[in-house]
Amino acid sequence: MDHTPNADLPVAVIGAGPIGLAAAAHLAERGLPFVVLEAGGLPGASVRQWGHVRLFSPWRYNTDTAARRLLTIAGWTPPAPDELPTGAEIADGYLRPLAELPDIAPHIRYQACVSAISSLNVDRMRTARREAAPFVIRLEDGTEILARAVIDASGTWTTPNVLGANGLPARGERETAPWIDHALPDVLGADRQYYAGRHTIVLGAGHSAATTLLALSELVDQVPGTRVTWAIRADDPDRAYGGEGDDALPARGSLGSGLRLLVDKGLVDLAAGFTVHAVRPLAASPAEGGLEVVSRQADGTEQVIVVDRIVAATGYRPDHSIAGELRLDLDAILGTTRLLAPLIDPNAHSCGTVRPHGVDELTHSEPDYYVIGMKSYGRAPTFLMATGYEQARSVVAALAGDWAAARDVQLELPETGVCSATLGVRAIAESFGLAPDMPAKLIAATTRHLSEHTSPADAVLAAANELGIESAAALRLAAFTAEQFGGATATTTPEGSAV
C-alpha cells in the first residue's frame, strides 16, 4: 500500500512538449496517476513554431526511452537514428503519436494554461502541514486542480530575452515590437515577405542566430537589395563559431563554419561590440519604414544601424511567476536550482559537456515540485533534449519511490570531437535534402577544383556550383569540407571593417 501523502492524486505535468510527454510516458509505465496541462491545442505547440528548422542533433538524441517503448508496443516505426529531423517532423512524427497513445491521451488537457501554483490552504509563509498539503494548480479559466506533485516542463519559448544589453528592455523596444521577430523566423517560407529585399539585423551569437543568418544569406543571393547585419556583444565572433569541424555533431559544427564563411565572403556584415541601448522607429509601421538600432558605449558614443527588421536571437529566460507562492531554491544568476547552476554555467560548459544530473540537482525547497527541460536551465542556453529526457526519467523514478533508479543518472551527450569529412558532409547534405550520393560527388569534385583555387573553401564552392547545389547548402558544405582538406576557411576580419 502506497503511504505517500496524497497518493491518490495525480502528478501534474505542465506542458505537452518533448520533455513533458516524456515525463508522461515514464509516469504511465510506472502506473502513477497523472494529468498533462497543455496551454496550446496540440502536442508540441512550441516546437511547431520552429517546425521549419532542421535540428543539428539526429533522431537518436531526440526521443525518450519510455516513449519509444510505449510507441513500439503500439506499432510505431522509429525513424532512422542518424537522420536529422525538422521541428515539424518531431511534432507530427513523434509527439503526436505519443500523445495519442491510450496510456497517455486520456490524461492530456489542451487549452489548459496554468496561471498559478500553490498548496492547499498553505501559503509560502506557513511551514506547519506544508508537506502533507497537496498542490493547487489554478488555470486561466479559474479551474483548480489538486495534485500530489508538479513537474513543470513548460519551457521558455514564450519568454524570450529582451534586446537591452543590460537585461532590461531597450529604450523603445515595446513600441517597436511590430518590427521585431524572435528566434528562428521562417525567412525562406511563411515569413519571406518581411525579409526579401530588406535590411535585417540579427542580434545574438548562438545556434538560433547562426541558423537564421544562414537562411537570410539565401535571400541575399536570390533577391536584390537584401542585406544582413549580424550584431554581437563580443569584440570578436570566434566564440560564436563554436567547435566547427571538431564538433561531434557535424550539422552543429557546420553552423559556426558556415557563419564564418558568410562573414568572410561579405554576405553578412558583422557589427562586433554592439550592445543595444535603444530602438527608434522611423515610420508609423513596418510597412512604411524601418527603424534605428542604437548601441551606446561607456564613453557615451553611439553607433546607429538603420534596418527594416530585427531578429532577436538573444536567448530565453524562465518565468517562475506561476510558482510565486512556492518555496523555490533558485540560483541568483541563472534562475535554475542552485545545485544545477555550476553544472550548466555557459561560461564553463557547452551543450555536450554538461555533467549528468537528475532529481537531486533539480530539487527545490518545495517538496515534490520539479522544473525540468529547457526551463530547468534558467538562462543557460546549453540545453539538449537528451538532457531533459534523463531529467524526466530520474524525477519520475523518485516520485515512484525508486530512488536507486532516480540516482542512477546516465547521460551521453555528443561532445566536441573529430568527425570524418564523409560523415560530416553526409549529415549536412541530409539536412538540406540532397541526394545520398551527393557527398561523395562533392568531395570528388572539390579534389578536381583544388588546383584552380588558393582557398579550399573556394574550391568547394566551385564544386557545389558545378553540381547545382543551392547557395545555402553550398556555403555550409564549403565551410565544413574545406577544413577536412587541410586549409583555413577564412581569414581574420580586419579591425574597422564591421558596420
**How much is the pLDDT for 324?**
95
- Residue 199 belongs to what H/E stretch? strand 199-203
262: nearest Cα among 426, 493, 494, 496: 493
**How much is the pLDDT for 477?**
66
Whether residue 270 has pLDDT greater than 60:
yes
Question: Which residue, of 407, 439, 454, is where some domain finishes?
Answer: 407
**pLDDT tens digits, 140-153:** 999 999 999 999 99
22: nearest Cα among 92, 93, 104: 104
Mean pLDDT for the stretch of residues 246-274? 71
For residue 449 the three cell numbers come to 577544383
Whether residue 292 is contained in a domain is answered as yes
**pLDDT tens digits, 47-80:** 999 999 888 788 988 999 999 999 999 999 999 9
**33 and 143 assigned to the same domain:** yes
Mean pLDDT for the stretch of residues 414-442? 57
**Residue that is written with C-alpha cell 492530456 in the block:** 108
Whether residue 327 is contained in a domain is answered as yes
Q: Are strands 276-281 and 114-119 parallel, antiparallel or unpaired?
A: unpaired
- Of the ranges 256-260, 269-273, 295-299, which is most confident? 269-273
Environment class of residue 124 by beta-carbon count within 10 Å: exposed (0-12), middle (13-18) or buried (19+)? middle
Whether residue 111 is contained in a domain is answered as yes
Q: Residue 213 CB: number of other CB atoms within 10 A?
A: 25
Domain containing 462: what range? 421-484
**How much is the pLDDT for 419?**
32
Q: Residue 473 CB: number of other CB atoms within 10 A?
A: 21
Cα 93 to Cα 75: distance, rounded to the nearest angstrom: 13
Q: Are strands 11-14 and 149-152 parallel, antiparallel or unpaired?
A: parallel
**305 and 329 assigned to the same domain:** no
Contact 482, 491 (CB under 8 A): no
CATH (domain of 26): 3.50.50.60
**334 and 283 assigned to the same domain:** no
The pLDDT confidence band at residue 244, using thresholds 50, 70 and 90, is very low
**Residue that is written with C-alpha cell 504511465 in the block:** 28
Whether residue 480 is contained in a domain is answered as yes
**137 and 23 assigned to the same domain:** yes
Whether residue 493 is contained in a domain is answered as no
**382 and 361 assigned to the same domain:** yes
Q: What angle do CA 94, 356, 342 make, to 5 degrees?
A: 120
Mean pLDDT for the stretch of residues 463-469? 83
* Torsional sign, CA 263, 379, 370, 359: positive
125: nearest Cα among 327, 341, 420, 310: 327
**pLDDT tens digits, 206-240:** 878 888 888 898 898 899 999 999 999 888 777 66
Whether residue 348 has pLDDT greater than 70:
no
Whether residue 248 is contained in a domain is answered as no
**How much is the pLDDT for 416?**
40
56: nearest Cα among 211, 286, 168, 227: 211
Whether residue 486 has pLDDT greater than 90:
no
Question: Which residue, of 254, 287, 312, is where some domain finishes?
Answer: 312
Q: What percent of the chain has pLDDT over 70?
A: 80
**223 and 336 assigned to the same domain:** no
**79 and 107 assigned to the same domain:** yes
**200 and 279 assigned to the same domain:** yes
**pLDDT tens digits, 361-402:** 999 999 999 999 999 999 988 888 999 999 999 999 999 999
For residue 276 the three cell numbers come to 543595444
Radius of gyration of the chain (CA): 24
Whether residue 492 has pLDDT greater than 50:
no
Q: In Å, how far are 156, 176, 207 from 29, measured between CA atoms?
A: 27, 48, 35
**How much is the pLDDT for 496?**
28
**394 and 463 assigned to the same domain:** no
**pLDDT tens digits, 107-139:** 999 999 999 999 998 888 887 788 889 999 999
DSSP 59: G
The pLDDT confidence band at residue 359, using thresholds 50, 70 and 90, is very high
Q: In Å, how far are 39, 92, 324 from 214, measured between CA atoms?
A: 32, 25, 40
Q: What percent of the chain has pLDDT over 90?
A: 58
Q: Are strands 291-296 and 276-281 parallel, antiparallel or unpaired?
A: antiparallel
**How much is the pLDDT for 84?**
84
Q: Residue 107 CB: number of other CB atoms within 10 A?
A: 17
Question: Which residue, of 378, 407, 436, is where some domain finishes?
Answer: 407
Distance from the first to the final alpha carbon of the chain: 69
Top pLDDT among 131 and 155 is at 155
**How much is the pLDDT for 447?**
55
**147 and 19 assigned to the same domain:** yes
The pLDDT confidence band at residue 483, using thresholds 50, 70 and 90, is very low
Mean pLDDT for the stretch of residues 19-34? 98
**302 and 325 assigned to the same domain:** no
Structural domain total, the chain = 3
243 contact partners, CB below 8 Å, separation of at least 6:
252, 253, 256, 350, 416
Whether residue 5 is contained in a domain is answered as no
The pLDDT confidence band at residue 451, using thresholds 50, 70 and 90, is low
134: nearest Cα among 9, 321, 320: 9
Whether residue 223 is contained in a domain is answered as yes
DSSP 182: E
**117 and 35 assigned to the same domain:** yes
DSSP 38: -
